[in-house]
Structure 1
């Protein structure tokens, strides 16, 4: 599981938990210039977030570590 942090140009941070394939799809959406939007699916809530590419100022991601019991 990964956490994807997306910052929009108006300074809002969005944190989304994603699996590897959904993270790859999001990065592909940002890479292909014919696409106006980038879409990401949250693994926890099963919701989908759609961002206009022009509104994303930065993004970062990293692995979420499992909590030990």
Structure 2
């Protein structure tokens, strides 16, 4: 990792940080949490949620907006 970062003239990151960024991208792409759990090799989805749950708050607002949009269209 250090060699590749040095070649690219970028600061090295820990493998754990790379893994965390990968999960953040999957969440942003809307991937299902159970698929992420399997990809990470976690034995329990609780581990995945406990570790990466803080990345989901923005999804709550998105879901709320979708539900409100459906509700509005049904009332029109």
Q: Same fold by TM (over 0.5)? A: no
TM-score of the superposition, structure 1-length normalised?
0.29
Greater share of helix: 2
Determine which structure has greater relative contact order: mean sequence separation of CA pairs < 8 Å that are 6+ residues apart, divided by chain length.
Answer: 1
Larger Rg: 2
TM-score of the superposition, structure 2-length normalised?
0.27
